Chain A
Amino acid sequence: SAVISQKPSRDICQRGTSLTIQCQVDSQVTMMFWYRQQPGQSLTLIATANQGSEATYESGFVIDKFPISRPNLTFSTLTVSNMSPEDSSIYLCSVDSGIHEQYFGPGTRLTVT
C-alpha cells in the first residue's frame, strides 16, 4: 500500500481567503483523487488529477473554486478558493494502486469562519 501525507492537517481560515492543501505519496502513481467529506457525511469526489493533464472535475465542482496542480507522479495540491463557511470540511487525497485498490491520506480538516 502507498503511504500518503497531507499538509496542513488542519486549519482555521477566514471567509474570502484561499488555502492550498498538499498531498505527497511515497511512490509514483498515475491517478490521484481529491475528495471532500462534509460533517457527518460520506466522501464525495471533487476531481481526478493525472500528471501532465488538466484535472477532471465532477459535477458541482469547478476549477475556479478548486484549482488542482499535479506537477509530478508523487505530488498534488488542491486549493480551496474564496472560502465560505460552507467549505468547512475534511479534504482527502487518495491514490490508485493500479491493482484496483485506492488508498487515502489522513485528511485536512478545514474550518472557515
Chain B
Amino acid sequence: QKEVEQDPGPLSVPEGAIVSLNCTYSNSAFQYFMWYRQYSRKGPELLMYTYSSGNKEDGRFTAQVDKSSKYISLFIRDSQPSDSATYLCAMSAKGSGNTGKLIFGQGTTLQVKP
C-alpha cells in the first residue's frame, strides 16, 4: 500500500464548475500538507500549505485536512481553462521549521473545458 493515494483521473469539467481533488494517506505522523500544481513540462508550483487539521482558503482555492480520516481535499471554485494542469498532493512529517522529505500522491490531471 502506498503511503499517499490519489486518483490519477483524468478529470474533465466545464468552465465554472467546482472541482474537488482528494488524497488519502496511511501515515499518522504526517503534519504538513501541500497541494502543488504542475503544468506540462514545468516544475511543481506550490498552491496551498496546511498544517494539521482544518481549512485554508486562498482566492478560488480551499484546502481541507481531516487527520482523523487521513483525508485531504483541494476545492477549486469557478474553475477556469487556465486551471488545466496536474495537481499533486504532498505530505511531510518533519517539523522544526522545515518540510524535509515530501511524500507525493500520483497526481490528478484536470482539464477545464471552455
Contact = CB atoms under 8 A, between A and B. Distances in A.
Q: Does B bind A?
A: yes
Interface of A: 1, 4, 30-31, 33, 41-45, 48, 58, 92, 94, 96, 98-107, 109
Interface majority SS (helix, strand, loop, mixed), chain B: loop
A9 B34 CA distance: 25
A96 B98 contact: yes
Given A42-B88, A43-B104, A107 B98 contact: no
Interface of B: 6, 32, 34, 36, 41-46, 49, 51, 88, 90, 97-102, 104-107
Contact of A96 (B42, B43, B99): B99
Contacts, number: 61
A10 to B, nearest CB: 9
A106 B90 CA distance: 18
Nearest to A109: B41
Given A92-B44, A106-B42, A42 B104 contact: yes
Contacts of B104: 42-44
Nearest to B98: A96
B98 A31 contact: yes
A48 B106 contact: no
Nearest to A58: B101
Nearest to B107: A42
- Most interface-central of A43, A45, A98 (chain B CB within 10 A): A43
Nearest to A107: B43
Contacts of B107: 42
Contacts of B36: 104
B100 A105 contact: no
A91 to B, nearest CB: 10
A107 B42 contact: yes
Contacts of A4: 43
Nearest to A99: B97
B46 A101 contact: yes
B44 A104 contact: yes
